[in-house]
Amino acid sequence: MRTVFWEDNKVKMIDQRLLPGEFVIAEFGAVHEVARSIRDMAVRGAPAIGATGAYGMALAAQQSQATTRDDLLADLRRAKATLDAARPTAVNLSWATTRLLALAEATPSREVTDIAHALLTEAEALADEDVAINRRMGFNGAAVIPDGAHILHHCNTGALATVDFGTALGVVFACQEQGKKIHVWVDETRPRLQGARLTAWELMRAEIPMHLIADNAAGHLMRTGQVDVVIFGADRVAANGDAANKIGTYKLAVVAKENGIPVYCVAPTSTVDMELAHGDLIPIEERGAEEVRQVGDELIAPADTPVYNPAFDVTPHRYLTGIVTEEGVCYPPFTESLRRAKVAAEARIETARQARQP
């Protein structure tokens, strides 16, 4: 099933905070609730957050009390601001809400109900596109993974991080479909343990050989020749290829390069922000101290321990062998290859949108 979807005029999603212990479908019927689901990480992963933001905009249109087009657009702009503020690093969120708002502004009808219908149709199309994009991206990435490879993966980038299939884990699933014999080293991914809680859960359900490792074991595995390739996703990629991903990614890429191991970032073109020249311009979200001081509800440090908790770090493009997108694998110079991929993807989306027009 899909990680996030629309049903009964509500945004519904797998509540990832409860996995692997419980599988619960949470539902949200107001924009501020959808924003909270993003902020509190009931849903996470850049593509899944983007789809959630799109559904949040559709929900705002459905629930608006506006009787005029201008008033509806004002409500949608407020909804966009609320949603965008929920997680500042993942560019897919603002990309999706911008796409929905732009559609509302461009819809020729002045009827509020027509605009609301158009937004829901577009949100559903965006979710469908995500699934198709992830499968394309997965098979593009599988082409660079040798049979028998030991893959090191950080955080969670599977179906749970997208609408379905996954980004970097989508590459792993594509390798499985192709019959490649692969094995995955799964970083636990402190402090929220997305690798231990989510990636291990997904891979075990798929019956893909894997071992969970402490984050600090990755360097040992690379130095001793037990890793063939490192893959991870991204929450935002700058125009030059610098990639922001879950904290701890940068050190993996540096150690991989030291040991001659190829490193691939796997991200849809919607995650590429051509407005940012380099990664130092990417806003880095800082999260609460309790994520570091606690595991679940259990304290692992004194209750008043000072904490610094950046949720992401930036891997400079010089450490990346390539960036896998739905338009193919981009290689240096990334400024050129990413721009070509972005243009091709936008043209594909526009062609599909035109085909949906009555």
Q: Which residues are catalytic?
A: 235
Query: Which H helix or E strand runs over 244?
Result: strand 243-246
As beta bridge partners, residue 263 has 230
User: How far is 9 from 89, CA to CA, in rounded Å?
Assistant: 28
User: How far is 340 from 240, CA to CA, in rounded Å?
Assistant: 13
**For residue 288, with 0-12 CB atoms within 10 Å meaning exposed, 13-18 middle and 19 or more buried, which class applies?**
exposed
What one-letter code names the amino acid at 61?
Answer: A
State both tokens at 256.
């991989």
Taking each continuous run of H as one helix and of E as one strand, the counts in the chain are 12, 16
DSSP state of 51: H
The answer to whether the CB of 153 falls within 8 A of the CB of 186 is yes
On the CB side of 338, CA atoms within 13 Å amount to 29
State both tokens at 309.
């908790």
